Amino acid sequence: MLSLVLPTYNEAKNIPELLPKLEEILTGIEHEIIIVDDDSPDGTWHIALELAQGREDLHVIRRLGRRGLSSAVIEGFLAAKGDVFAVMDADGQHDFELLPALYHAVRSGSGIAVGSRYVEGGSVGEWDERRQVLSRIATRLALFLCAVKVKDPMSGFFAIERSLFERVVTKLNPKGFKILLDLLVCVPRETQVTEHPFTFRKRLHGQSKLSLRVQVDFLEYLYDVTVGKYIPLTFVKYSLVGTLGVFVHLCAYYAITRFVLQSSHPSVGGFSIAVIGATETAIVFNFFLNNIWTFAGQRLQGKQAAVGFLKFNIACLFGALVNWGVSTSLFALKWQEFLAVFLGAMAGVMWNYTVNRIFTWKE
């Protein structure tokens, strides 16, 4: 049985047009179609549910509070009943007529069968030169990571044997849009993969999802499966935000002393007020940027954001105490002054990151 997953976001116009074509091409193949929608604002999930009425072969998963093509595909595969899983875009850009060939290739012994734009007979269609260059660069970077080499590791159109997917599912990193790449990184090296040419088509309706965010997600994925095994990307982001926070702290201190206290040589009391104000300004900045960037996957909103901001303040307070305690203890032990200050600061950063990762932005 073939389980075809269609991950969707704002594809309300495409779904009613695509499904009849899929039913026609899959005639004679036992199958189910699973639409996994990320709560599309255009109501794709609603249209899909209406189309599913009275049909046993069409299922709809509406995801709330979760986004991302890779994670949507994984969720669809986990809900599937077939012994062969397949995925394709719901916008008509993938050649659905290739589905029977991909299905039969897996049934005949291929662990993965890929719809490829870069083997003989395949094409990227009417892509402009910029997109072609970006795709080629991304493909070359991706190939360095793959346990199994193929011509088109960035394809979003493929089929995979159920048992193979189940062997590697716990190793997958569901970030971004390139689920095939993630699978090729994780599957055993002896996995047989076949590639089948197709020409990338124009979208039926709507706009391309290839945004700057998608490109950044790809780069983050590359980091995650290489350096990220040793230094988490979230820690790098958190540290970068902290570095920017130091700059914000200095700017805020200058603004408070010059424009609020109106003094270039404040008293001890004025200095303390300026430092406290600058510190809290930096904390607000750090919390905001960490919330929308560092921990974007666990972004806090509404009341949760208010509670999270309080937790962040408390964590930073204790982080400052850790910083002070470590640096002064090392200095008292006759460590070199700058080294003691540096290690104290690093201890504070590690404390803040760990505590906030566990209590403020929980997985």
DSSP 129-156: HHHHHHHHHHHHHHHTT-SS--S-TT-S
pLDDT at 320 (0 to 100): 82
pLDDT at 205 (0 to 100): 64
pLDDT at 296 (0 to 100): 83
Burial class (CB in 10 A: 0-12, 13-18, 19+), 337: exposed
pLDDT over 70 percentage in the chain = 91
Top-tier CATH class for 2-229: alpha beta
- Does position 224 have pLDDT exceeding 70, yes or no? yes
Tokens 């300004």 sit at which residue?
281
pLDDT over 90 percentage in the chain = 39
**N- to C-terminal Cα separation, the chain:** 35
CA dihedral over 106, 72, 92, 59, signed as positive or negative: positive
For residue 114, the cross-strand partners are 158, 195
Q: What pTM was computed for the model?
A: 0.73
Q: Is 65 left (phi over 0), alpha (psi -120 to 50) or beta?
A: left
Average pLDDT value over all residues in the chain: 85
Determine phi and psi for 58, rounding to 5 degrees: -125, 120
Q: In the chain, count of helices (H) and strands (E)?
A: 12, 7
pLDDT digit string, tens, across residues 243-268:
888 888 788 888 888 877 776 666 66
Domain residue limits, the chain: 2-229, 233-360
User: Residue 206's pLDDT band (boundaries 50, 70, 90)?
Assistant: low
Query: Can you list the positions of beta strands (E) in the chain?
Result: 2-8, 31-37, 58-62, 84-87, 112-116, 158-161, 193-197
- How far, in Å, are 72, 167, 214, 232, 303 from residue 299 at the CA level? 19, 31, 18, 18, 12
User: Residue 280's pLDDT band (boundaries 50, 70, 90)?
Assistant: confident
Residue 190, C-beta contacts closer than 8 angstroms, at least 6 positions apart? none
A 10 A CB-CB count for 307 gives 12
**How much is the average pLDDT of 175-203?**
86
pLDDT at 337 (0 to 100): 72
pLDDT digit string, tens, across residues 91-139:
888 888 999 999 999 999 999 999 998 888 888 766 667 667 777 777 7
User: SS3 of 63, please?
Assistant: coil
Which secondary-structure segment (H or E) carries 309?
helix 303-332
